[in-house]
């Protein structure tokens, strides 16, 4: 990957120029879809953008000392990590990449969750600390499934390079891994039935309780970019390999949009699970997925 290609992917497509408007659009689609399924009107089309601008114009609580500096830093780190994860996605043909970029993608996808956990504890708010504790417990649970799914897909193709995985032929282990990733996305995106860390009826806004103004705007943007990165990862693994740039981009956007609708339908159709039920669910999924992955690997080996 050349420097020019890397900058184009990070800043233009699928990077910031595409990802930021897509983040607001996906947030609106999720909120609007849930509202319509629950027979409500829902927000207007531009509402996530208006919310972002409104928060930028508000003042933030005074921050002093190292804790205040850290509270300002966490949302910026989360936005940077989510934007970097989107920029790594191999959407366009011959967009380049490097050996092991899948590992970097996984690290960047995990950073926003780590920042949320740290932000709640840095705030010294009881509601923030409870939300962070829930986020930490849930993160450990679903990340086992998430990482096992990604590693299984990579192992089946004998590569940790993203563009090679995106263009690789589909195998049973590939589809099982994609299904496992889809199971983990609701928890990673904090939507029902795994919206425990920010349960407004119980702990206000969880780790975000002490945030306001531009800092909260950055958290909202980070959340939107996580939507783009998470659904985009599924899209790059599912989309057929095509050599036409505009068609590849259209397929990527269409599949990402379909995943947003699927997750929105799940959020509208389910209620919030308790933390013990959520953790138990993902531990059970880990066992089931491990058995399926091993069985699929043995099947592929004997078949070959």
Per-residue pLDDT of the chain (304 residues; tens, 9 = 90+): 677 777 888 888 898 999 999 999 999 999 999 999 988 999 999 999 999 999 999 988 788 888 888 999 999 999 999 999 999 998 987 767 788 899 999 999 999 999 999 998 888 888 888 888 889 999 999 998 898 888 888 888 888 899 888 888 888 888 888 999 999 999 999 888 888 767 665 656 678 888 889 999 999 999 999 999 999 999 999 988 887 888 999 999 999 999 999 999 999 999 888 888 888 999 888 878 877 877 776 676 666 5
Nearest to 79 by CA among 187, 231, 230, 225: 225
Cα–Cα distance list, 195 to 70, 78, 131, 135, 227 (Å): 25, 19, 10, 9, 14
Helix, coil or strand: residue 203:
helix
Examine residue 14 and say whether the peptide bond preceding it is cis (omega within 30 degrees of 0). yes
Q: Where in the sequence is the domain holding 106, given as residue range(s)?
A: 3-303
| 253 vs 249: CA distance, rounded Å | 6
Q: What is the pLDDT of residue 66?
A: 86
What's the structural domain count of the chain? 1
Q: What is the pLDDT of residue 285?
A: 84
| 28 vs 260: CA distance, rounded Å | 10
Q: What is the pLDDT of residue 105?
A: 94
Nearest to 227 by CA among 24, 17, 8, 88: 24
Q: What is the pLDDT of residue 303?
A: 67
Tokens 């509202």 -> residue: 35
- CA angle 229/235/238 to nearest 5° reads 145
183, 285 Cβ separation under 8 angstroms = yes
| 211 vs 231: CA distance, rounded Å | 27
Tokens 């986020």 -> residue: 135
Q: What is the pLDDT of residue 151?
A: 85
pTM for the full predicted model: 0.93
62, 213 Cβ separation under 8 angstroms = no
Cα–Cα distance list, 37 to 1, 24, 240, 256 (Å): 44, 20, 31, 20
């Amino acid at each position: 990957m050349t420097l020019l290609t890397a900058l184009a992917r990070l800043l233009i497509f699928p990077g910031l120029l595409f990802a930021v408007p897509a983040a607001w659009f996906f947030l609106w689609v999720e909120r609007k879809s849930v509202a319509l399924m629950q027979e409500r009107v829902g927000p207007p089309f531009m509402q996530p953008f208006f919310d972002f601008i409104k928060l930028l114009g508000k003042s933030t609580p005074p921050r002093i000392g190292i804790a205040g500096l850290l509270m300002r830093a966490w949302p910026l780190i989360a936005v940077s990590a989510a934007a970097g994860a989107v920029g790594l996605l191999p959407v366009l043909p011959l967009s380049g990449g490097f050996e092991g970029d899948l590992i970097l993608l996984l690290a960047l996808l995990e950073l926003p969750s780590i920042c949320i956990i740290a932000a709640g504890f840095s705030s010294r708010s009881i509601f923030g600390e409870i939300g962070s504790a829930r986020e930490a417990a849930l993160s450990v649970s679903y990340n086992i499934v998430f990482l096992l799914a990604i590693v299984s897909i990579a192992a089946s193709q004998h590569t940790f390079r993203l563009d090679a995985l995106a263009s690789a032929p589909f195998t049973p282990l590939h589809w099982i891994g994609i299904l496992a990733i889809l199971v983990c996305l609701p928890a990673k995106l904090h939507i029902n039935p795994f919206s425990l860390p920010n349960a407004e009826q119980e702990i206000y806004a969880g780790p975000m309780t002490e945030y306001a103004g531009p800092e909260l705007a950055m958290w909202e943007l980070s959340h939107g970019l996580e939507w783009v990165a998470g659904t985009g990862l599924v899209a790059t693994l599912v989309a057929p390999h095509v050599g036409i740039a505009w068609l590849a981009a259209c397929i990527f956007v269409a599949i990402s949009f379909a995943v947003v609708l699927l997750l929105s339908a799940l959020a509208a159709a389910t209620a919030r699970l308790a933390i013990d039920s959520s953790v138990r669910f993902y531990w059970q999924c880990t066992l089931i997925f491990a058995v399926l992955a091993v069985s699929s690997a043995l099947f592929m080996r004997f078949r070959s």
